[in-house]
Amino acid sequence: DSGVTQTPKHLITATGQRVTLRCSPRSGDLSVYWYQQSLDQGLQFLIQYYNGEERAKGNILERFSAQQFPDLHSELNLSSLELGDSALYFCASSPTPGQGTDTQYFGPGTRLTVL
């Protein structure tokens, strides 16, 4: 158990809909990262927050947005969903803003299925 929690575990929805994925980082960790992993693909970095502020942005679509709240939990919002958005979405946390020695602790993921 990494200490990172993600809800829900599974999510099934229809094209065009909007969903929200939630992540609670490990106690004391200030950074939260979001990743997308499609079938048989590597993890694609989406976005990072540190202590409530966006710190780095990767391959995140404009239809996707995220935020980190004062209690440090984070939400990833996916809108106008398409079939291709079906994937595993992972959240990870680390204690610092992103140092070379940081270890990321990953949550169990949310499996999103868009029908």
Partner 1 sequence: LAKTTQPISMDSYEGQEVNITCSHNNIATNDYITWYQQFPSQGPRFIIQGYKTKVTNEVASLFIPADRKSSTLSLPRVSLSDTAVYYCLVGAPEKLTFGTGTRLTIIP
Question: Which residues sit at the interface with partner 1, rule CB under 8 A?
Answer: 2, 4, 31, 33, 35, 41-45, 48, 55-56, 88, 90, 92, 94, 98-109, 111
Residue with tokens 């809108």: 79
Min dist. Cβ of residue 105 to partner 1 (A): 7
Q: Closest by alpha carbon to 6, among 111, 109, 113?
A: 109
Strand-pair category, 19-24 with 64-68: unpaired
CB of 91 to partner 1, least distance (A): 8
Q: Which is nearer to partner 1, 2 or 7 (CB)?
A: 2
